[in-house]
Amino acid sequence: MLVNRNLYYGLVLDNEDPLMLGRIRVHPKHENLTAIEGSNQKFKKDSNNTSNGKWSSEDPLLFLPLLPFYINQVPQVGERVILLYYDNKRQDIKDRFYLIGPYSSPTRIEKEEYDSSNTHLSSGVRNNRIEFPDIKNPDGTYPDPISHKGIYPEPLDISINGRGTTDIILKNNDVILRAGKHKVTEPDQKIPTYDENRAFLQLSKFDSKITEGNSQDTLEFVSQDKQIKYLVEYDVYNPESKPQVFTGRVVIYQFKSNEQPQTKINNFKYDTELTGVTSTIAKIYNIEVGQNITDFAKFISNQIKTLVKNSNEVLNLPNGEQFPIYYRPSKQIRDILQTTPTPGSLTEVPFINMQQLVNLVRVSYTDLTPGYGLIIDENFSEWQAFTTKKVKTKTFTSESVENTVGILGANNLYLLSNQTKIDGKDQINFNKVSPNFEPKFEQSQIDTNLLPNTSSVVRGEELLELLQTIVGFLVSHVHPYPLMPPSSVAYDGTSTDDLLKKMLEAYTKVLNSNIRIN
């Protein structure tokens, strides 16, 4: 059965090929490692870089990459590889190759141990698959697109993926080279999170182009939802009084917090419950001497009007700072009015009394809801939940035009030439790029070599705006007398203070310190 197989699995023992050809030393798992090492009498397994030791032509564990030399994809020690032999019946010959083995999840490509790579094979049926959650739903959508969409290539993409946060993606009309595509994962994090601060190079071809037109004035609806500041509630102690002679009280509550949605104007109603609302009692008017229903209602109305017209008298509060105000009957009265009494029942008299009282409580001639309502100013103006404001909107037109775009983005950009030097600064030597002999700039080299020897890029339009201000002052300034400094304000209205202010702003407005050149 082994002879009839086409593919075999192996465990990577070493990947430090002295020839840098991508060769690896592999233990084919279908064979005994000791037997393989002893199959070649010339091989000395304890020798390195000798004519008959490890990595020599006598090494029986050497496998060549099946991928061409121009694509470097060397597995890590401990990973699984797929082995292919030119002749299955003679597996001791040198014509044998390897391919990278399967992975359990794209989140594990930094290194996948041999046993873990079994997960999606027949031999890995017992592996814990819960450890590697699905990145997508079965229908191709993302459970959390904001955090995870865009990290990994899509099915239609052609890509070259690094073991960390880098890749090259080839789409239909786009080439994207990225570094830092996802954030550093926490120990218990199953799926990495997309990093909006990635560094990338994008080359794209588009079939249309959008052109910005003139701005137009449009009306936009704006919510006027405000916090109610004071609530006035009136109560009757003896609503069952048949002669309609009542005692009771008027209570003014102040709402403290601005984060209470129940007490926003657009939410507060006649029967809104105040459970969980932070409030304090600002004022109490007790009506201890019995009054007939007309005088009782008049007393309530007058207290509300006084609060509206003269808050200083009621609450020692400057006029205008008491609004918005809401007034209504107490919960006891509201509960009575919600009943449907039958003639002759005990609830009939309280219902009739409170209905008449509420109808008599009025605070203005335009009061459409006697007994309760919202007051937003001393004129008893009608509340508008929304208002309109004039805003300028840009117009855009789209045209079918072939267009190509190149975009380079990162937190910090450096555009360098190895043949230029800024006066007063050191020349950047590309031959001394990294102290670790890596073909890249390390962060320490960026901080100590690139940053101090480069300059900020200038924003063109902002520079022209500054120059226009300077030129405007030069051509329109006057001198009070010959040989005296110019007046501080020119004929066009530009002042020396304006110039000094714009020059100070230029360090951040005209210069972009995050994009640098040498």
DSSP state of 129: G
In a domain, 331, yes or no: yes
The predicted model gives 291-301 an average pLDDT of 96
pLDDT tens digit string along 312-364?
Answer: 999 999 999 999 999 999 999 999 999 999 999 999 999 999 999 999 999 98
Alpha-carbon distances, residue 14 vs 27, 43, 63, 65, 491 (angstroms):
10, 16, 11, 14, 80
Identify the domain containing residue 491 by its residue range: 413-518
In a domain, 217, yes or no: no
pLDDT for position 65:
96
The predicted model gives 137-154 an average pLDDT of 90
Length of the chain in terms of residues written: 518
CA angle 272, 273, 278 (to 5 degrees): 115
Q: What is the mean pLDDT of the chain?
A: 89
Contact between residue 325 and residue 232 where contact means Cβ atoms under 8 Å apart: yes
201 and 283 assigned to the same domain: no
* Among the ranges given (4-8, 191-195, 370-374, 513-517), the one the predictor scored with the smallest mean pLDDT: 4-8
pLDDT tens digit string along 218-242?
Answer: 888 887 888 999 999 999 999 999 9
Please say if the pLDDT value at position 169 is more than 80. Answer: yes
pLDDT for position 25:
96
pLDDT for position 260:
84
Pick 289 or 188 by higher pLDDT.
289
In a domain, 307, yes or no: yes
In a domain, 366, yes or no: yes
pLDDT for position 174:
95
pLDDT tens digit string along 380-410?
Answer: 888 888 888 888 888 888 888 888 999 999 9
Closest C-alpha to 381, from 364, 403, 398, 394:
364
* Among the ranges given (75-89, 102-116, 118-132, 333-347), the one the predictor scored with the smallest mean pLDDT: 118-132
419 and 509 assigned to the same domain: yes
Cβ-based burial of 197 (10 A; exposed 0-12, middle 13-18, buried ≥19): exposed
The predicted model gives 74-80 an average pLDDT of 95
248 and 357 assigned to the same domain: yes
In a domain, 36, yes or no: yes
> How many domains is the chain partitioned into structurally?
4
